[in-house]
Amino acid sequence: MQSADTDIQPAENIQSINPNESPAIEPETVSNPAKPLFQSVSITFVKEGKEAIASDGANLRIKAIETGIDLYTFGGKMMNCGGYGQCGTCIVEIVEGADNLSPRTDFENRKLKKKPATYRLACQALVHGAVSVKTKP
Ligand code: FES
């Protein structure tokens, strides 16, 4: 067995570091500040006149329930899937900011086939920017 010490080569081009010299700051670093760790988005519930602040990527159904918004009609209250994208009772209309939501899921495409393009299932939509929502359209 060969010793590992024989493979070690002396390092070349090592420059000494002077602690009194500050490293040059690249202009890109200054003009491109780090993205904040927490980004908030606003959700406006038009019919109810309420606004909720959520974190980026929040689930629209969960945030609506937390805000005290009633998403479901009578039938939906009696039988809904609890947010698993199976019943289609959490339909909302996106009045503004549809581009700020996650893309429609396959289930939404099937369930909302005959509905306007502005309709979404709240349980399937993730919020990434300001949106205005009309419940029970
Ligand atoms: S709660 Fe059932 S599909 Fe949204």
Which residues on neighbouring strands pair with residue 54, listed in sequence order? Answer: 41
Q: What is the pLDDT of residues 88-113, one digit of tens each?
A: 999 999 999 999 999 999 999 999 99
- 73, 89, 92, 126: residue to mutate for ligand 1 pocket, most atoms within 8 A of CB: 89
Whether ligand 1 lies within 6 angstroms of the CB of 87 is answered as yes
Which sign, positive or negative, has the C-alpha torsion 53, 54, 56, 61? Answer: negative
Helices of type H across the chain: 27-31, 60-67, 74-78, 106-111
| Ligand 1, atom nearest to 71 Cα | 1
Report CA(12)–ligand 1 centroid distance (Å): 64
Whether ligand 1 lies within 6 angstroms of the CB of 81 is answered as yes
pTM above 0.85, yes or no: no
If residue 43 lies in a helix (H) or strand (E), which one and from where to where? strand 40-45
> For tokens 């070349």, what's the residue?
12
Q: What is the pLDDT of residues 46-102, one digit of tens each?
A: 999 999 999 999 999 999 999 999 999 988 888 999 999 999 999 999 999 999 999
Which domains does the chain show, CATH number per domain? 40-135 (3.10.20.30)
What is the biggest distance separating any 2 CA atoms in the chain, rounded to whole angstroms?
Answer: 80
Going by pLDDT thresholds of 50, 70 and 90, the confidence category of residue 124 is: very high
What pLDDT was estimated at residue 76? 85
Which residues on neighbouring strands pair with residue 53, listed in sequence order? Answer: 42
